[in-house]
Amino acid sequence: MYLTGFPSEEFPPRKFLAASRNLPIAGPDSHEYKEGMSNRQNWEAFVFKSWRFSTIFLIILLSAQVTHVFADNLIPADRRITWNPGIPGGIPNRTTIFANVKNAPYNAVGDGVHDDTVAIQQAITACPTGQVVYIPPGTYRTSGSLNIGRFKTVRGAGPSQTKIIDYGTSDIFNMVSGSISWSATDISSGYTKDSTTLTLASSTLATVGCYLCIDQLNKGGIVDMGDCNWCFRQNGANRNMSQIVKVTAVNGNTVTISPPLYYTFEAAYAPQAARIQSDLNSMVQYSGVEDLYVERRTTGTASTFMLNYAVNCWVKNVESYNAQGYHVRLQRSYGCVVRDSYFHHGNSGYSAATADHGYGLILMCQNSDNLIENNIFYYLRHSMVFSGGGSGNVLGYNYSYRMFDDYYPNTDWLMGDLLTHGSHPYMNLFEGNVVDLLFFDGVHGSSSHNTAFRNYATARSLGEATTVKYALRGACADFTNRYENVIGCVLTSPGVSGAYDPSNISGWGTQTYVWLLGYKPQGGYGTATPSDPLVASTLLRHGNYDYITKSTHWDPSITNQTLPASLYLPSKPGWWDSTPWPPIGPDVSGYTNAIPAYKRFTGTSVSKPNAPTNLRIVP
């Protein structure tokens, strides 16, 4: 039975399973519409040319509307948004190879001995817009950063064939914008939820195509900054709740933005718009790294993949082994994608005492509308972490297992793997993930208005030198984390006993809890009643099944007990395998099914659909 038990020994972590390679990009089947075809085909061509909408798109749109009808009946409007993360149209499938790095004039060796940093960087620098730098099979030694630039793809031959072995202490693959200059102005009006127009005090701040960070001063009762003095924007102290938007039109002091605002700001807290980059040509956009393996050989605190002030960039189908600080760091980025990859182990330990070590993926500071999907996170400190005011991001269908702390290898309590960990993430969606613990923590401040939907949190993990037996809980929300939504999840594991929702705990012990709400993390939990009763009273819990009570708990004030399959996907995605859809929930036979990322990790056979090709409109 799926995930009813855990392995008695570590799975082979350094071999990226064949089933994870060459995953198809979701998309409609290919068809080209031309003149001279049948009447029906001519009619379809006319529709395509006139309206630029395909039948498939209309079906998707209708499906999305149905999903939102379900969401309307489940989650109040002020606690949810329309999630539409990632790159419009999906990751570009570029086919023009500019250079093979082993060929002249670059002449990378790929023998694991010669340092190929300069050769690879020269090829990337010379690559024109919209083309690919190809790193063929081989083992490439590097010792410094590889700066990708704008509108470029760096592609290997697959994680089992193209291997980057790095001996440096800096970030390896950089998708980082140039010098950033934050310019801010007050917002006079338009700062309400779902608004797409803002009136600014300055008429010179925004231009079409630029990106703005919308924020306000922290509002008590919603935002608790804690010690997270790195979580607000530059020149924007005490503004921890923010959203990045794109300017699509400018008319004097009025700007049109996309997407709409996710939250209603208030005049009393001085809403502002801050332009992220004064020079649009300096913003790194539409660049990505895919189909390769990366390994760290030296210790430090750097990132393997750094996306900083990046727009619509991606990391796809990579294996990253032995992170220093972070495998992937997304910082003040918009609409990026990390998918189909395997991130595991840290070579600098798992301590946060001196610096962060051994993290999987972190969303640092302001991030909006990024998509983290179908990845494996294994043997880390934390797997997926919000450290700052991200909004509109989606973490979907990832598998996470075995997290460790400063006491590694003697970690004996359950570490958070999917967690908010810095003030103030809001309106993010966690869907379809299989994790050890679903955690809204209060260590570095608050979060609110996030939605966890159809996740499986097992409340179990496998230690190294000792057994993980303390702090076993399925879902935990520390003090100051309010107005969260947890819907359709499966919590704890078969065969366990424990408490459902304790009003006080006298110490961790080895008991398993379904919920732990409102406690302070500092100094340990459980010496008294929860310090913040608003955590529980503002939490929306609906349709969650747990193995301790062996029942599904519904909110009696919500009459709708029919859950949509997804809150961000209009239908089963094209990359999905034969696993039942949806895979997790109280309405699913057996409550849980093995998601594709879990199958790749365990080596279970994954049957994949035929790879779709791109739909093309012929003018």
In CATH terms, the fold of domain 183-282 is: Elongation Factor Tu (Ef-tu); domain 3 (2.40.30)
- What is the CA angle 163-286-27, rounded to 5? 90
pLDDT digits (tens, 9 = 90+) for 537-559: 999 999 999 999 999 999 999 99
Report the run of H or E that residue 121 belongs to, with start and end. Answer: helix 117-126
pLDDT digits (tens, 9 = 90+) for 445-479: 899 999 999 999 999 999 999 999 999 999 999 99
DSSP string covering 34-87, please?
Answer: -TTS-HHHHHHHHHHHHH---HHHHHHHHHHHHHHHHHHHHS-GGG------S-
Query: Residue 249 has what pLDDT?
Result: 97
- Return the minimum-mean-pLDDT range out of 55-64, 246-255, 609-618: 609-618
Measured distance CA(594)–CA(613) in Å, rounded: 27
pLDDT digits (tens, 9 = 90+) for 511-530: 999 999 998 865 455 455 67
Query: Residue 472 has what pLDDT?
Result: 94
Query: What's the whole-model pTM score?
Result: 0.88
Amino acid making up residue 220: G
Mean pLDDT for 127-138 is: 98
pLDDT(268) > 60: yes
Query: Residue 524 has what pLDDT?
Result: 52
Buried b / exposed e over 562-601, threshold 16 CB at 10 Å, is ebbbbbbbbeebbbbbebebbbbbbbbeebbbbbbbbbbb
Helix (H, G, I), strand (E, B) or coil at 538: helix
- What is the CA angle 383-582-428, rounded to 5? 45
DSSP state of 226: T
DSSP string covering 454-515, please?
Answer: S-EE-S----SSS---BSEEEEEE-TTEES-EEES-EES-TT--EESS-S--SS-TT-EEEE
Buried b / exposed e over 161-200, threshold 16 CB at 10 Å, is bbbbbbebeebbbbbbbeebeebbbebeebbeeeeeebeb
In terms of pLDDT, which residue wins out, 4 or 240?
240
pLDDT digits (tens, 9 = 90+) for 42-69: 333 333 333 333 333 344 444 444 455 4
pLDDT(484) > 80: yes
DSSP state of 280: G
pLDDT(425) > 80: yes
Query: Residue 506 has what pLDDT?
Result: 67
Residue 594's pLDDT band (cuts 50, 70, 90): very high
**In percent, how much of the chain has pLDDT > 70?**
83
Mean pLDDT for 239-261 is: 96
Query: Residue 129 has what pLDDT?
Result: 96
Alpha-carbon distance values, 170 to 310, 508, 578 (Å):
18, 39, 41
Q: Does domain 90-177+284-359 have CATH number 3.90.1310.10?
A: no
According to DSSP, the residues that pair with 512 across neighbouring strands are 472, 498
Query: Residue 319 has what pLDDT?
Result: 98
pLDDT(5) > 50: no
In the chain, CATH 2.40.30 covers 183-282
Helix (H, G, I), strand (E, B) or coil at 400: strand
In the chain, CATH 2.160.20.10 covers 90-177+284-359
Residue corresponding to tokens 């989650």: 75
Measured distance CA(304)–CA(174) in Å, rounded: 8
